[in-house]
Chain A
């Protein structure tokens, strides 16, 4: 007997309404800057704002640095855990999940206490040092996503046999990691990278408390002082996040297609 589909559809409609109505309302509001007609004036102003460009550019650079450090940290760790220390997997997974349960504000206060200008490693005493600290903060924040993506990717391939095959052909560990393992978890790494990018672009707490000119604090400042531009910025931020998610899905689908072959 065919079950009634009414209730599932009601659930979908309710969920879609819950998420879409505020988004549509925000979008609609962002178009009403000019009295009496819809226009993209708010978007034009936002995109032309040098602070927007500077803060977005800054966050994008920090995001790329975060991704590179995240890959450098996660890939060898997940690889070694899978190959040599499988018993440590629960411990490492627990550690990588900690940033999800420890609030960002607690982490950043911890960093400020550890690396302030009078500490043994005064990272906050210079702009570049603080940028470095912000990058490491973001690496911590994105660690659950990056590590789990990489770990999932590694589980999908026969890491041990590929490693042994490369070893038997005379390859060293760094070469194995760079030429054999990393290319084969490319899709997983890209998924982690896009998630990291999305997180870093919108992050406010760490950038604000470390006083860096990132996109998150810029969003907050505009939101506090303007009417239509914050709505346009919110839509732009959504678009960036969704673009990242779309790219994750695209690469995941490509990966699945390659595996099926």
Chain B
């Protein structure tokens, strides 16, 4: 049985249903990310797990125990907030010790645990400082230590990196993941940042309009999106309209040029229009990657981005963007230049609805 089980979880605010019957099972020690755009319901789910919001219906079980109606202070969870939420009147050490004092642990045990946590977050000498004397990244590490000090059953992270600058964000996400792995603590992480989700998670749960769109490993989510929403939300994606020529063999026509997909298009009839997706990194100019699909078009736009050159190619009605590495010894292609875009039959993702 999974460590955290969510069954048919619903949350309504007045007439609006924010979470529409979510089912989710998280294994012990797993790092699961709830990924979705603002307002999709991911934070509401996290807040229901924490007990800050009451579920309209459904159940939440932690280690087999139904906690749906327990108060937040009875759930034994640790939570890290976007706004750090360190207690301004307490020193770093007192912040970390807070939960242990609430639990009436002996003072020697509290002191030892605080020291251990400070070492874990690599701030062993800052115990006497106050939150206002720390940088944002340091404050968030203290918040993490405070949440972990009480040895919670589950660690909940509510967009903990959003308020930090880009460099700190990257280093801190590595630190959070390392700490999570070291402690083996079951973790639910909420973010709208796909890069964070892809780089940190064991599994990603993509949420849209209160429903789970797809649950899978980062590899599955990125490479095999099941819905158009997942495909477009996770990573950059080219979406093209393709007409089915032969559903059995996977032959399709894009702007009167024939391509073949290795993905099943069973259920579609000859003449149907499907939405097809191609990742920019799957495409190359010329026949460089030896794919069996070639589409001829003209260069529509060239953006020099430093290490990468983003090229937009127009076929007829469809346009694709692709990235190539900047090669200082060869000039990038020019606008209007005819080119062939090459990709393999496995690179074509068949989405659920035609592109508009």
Q: A126: CB under 8 A from chain B?
A: no
A168 at interface, CB cutoff 8 A: yes
A interface size (C-beta, 8 A)? 21
User: Which residues of B are found within 8 Å of A168, using beta-carbon distances?
Assistant: 50, 72-73, 75, 77-79, 147, 156
Q: What 8 A-B pairs have minimum CB-CB distances, sorted nearest first? A: A169-B99, A165-B85, A183-B89, A167-B72, A168-B79, A261-B132, A161-B85, A170-B102
Having A170-B102, A180-B89, one finds 4 other A-B pairs with CB under 8 Å, namely: A167-B51, A168-B147, A169-B150, A171-B98
A175 adjacent to B85 (CB under 8 Å) = no
26 contacts between A and B (CB under 8 A): A161-B81, A161-B83, A162-B87, A164-B72, A164-B79, A164-B85, A165-B79, A165-B86, A167-B52, A167-B72, A168-B50, A168-B73, A168-B75, A168-B147, A169-B73, A169-B98, A169-B99, A170-B74, A170-B103, A171-B73, A171-B99, A171-B102, A172-B102, A184-B89, A186-B89, A261-B132
CB distance from A166 to the nearest CB of B (A): 7
Kindly state whether residue A258 has any CB partner on chain B within 8 Å: yes
Give the CA-CA distance A30 to B79 in the complex, in Å.
64
Is B133 part of the binding interface, using a Cβ–Cβ cutoff of 8 Å? yes
Residues of A near B99 (CB, < 8 A) are: 169-171
Interface, chain B (partner A; CB < 8 A): 50-52, 71-79, 81, 83, 85-89, 98-99, 102-103, 132-133, 143, 146-147, 150, 156
For the complex formed, measure the closest distance between the CB of B17 and the CB atoms of chain A, giving whole angstroms.
22
Q: Is the interface of A mostly helix, strand, loop or mixed?
A: helix
Q: Does A227 reach chain B (CB closer than 8 Å)?
A: no
In the assembly, what is the distance between CA of A87 and CA of B89, in Å? 29
Given contacts A183-B89, A258-B132, A261-B133, are A166 and B98 in contact (CB under 8 A)? yes
Give every chain B residue within 8 A of A183 (Cβ-Cβ).
89
Q: Is A49 an interface residue (CB 8 A)?
A: no
**A151-163: contact bitstring with B at CB < 8 Å (1 yes, 0 no)?**
0000001100110
B87 cross-chain contacts in A, Cβ below 8 A: 162, 165-166, 180, 184
Is B88 a contact of A184 with CB atoms below 8 Å? yes
Give every chain B residue within 8 A of A167 (Cβ-Cβ). Answer: 51-52, 71-73
* B88 touching A157, Cβ below 8 Å: yes
Question: What is the bound-complex CA distance between A184 and B88, given in angstroms?
Answer: 7
Q: In chain A between 130 and 158, which residues have their CB closer than 8 angstroms to a CB of chain B?
A: 157-158
Evaluate contact between B81 and A165: CB separation under 8 angstroms. Answer: yes
Q: Is the CB of A162 within 8 A of B85?
A: yes
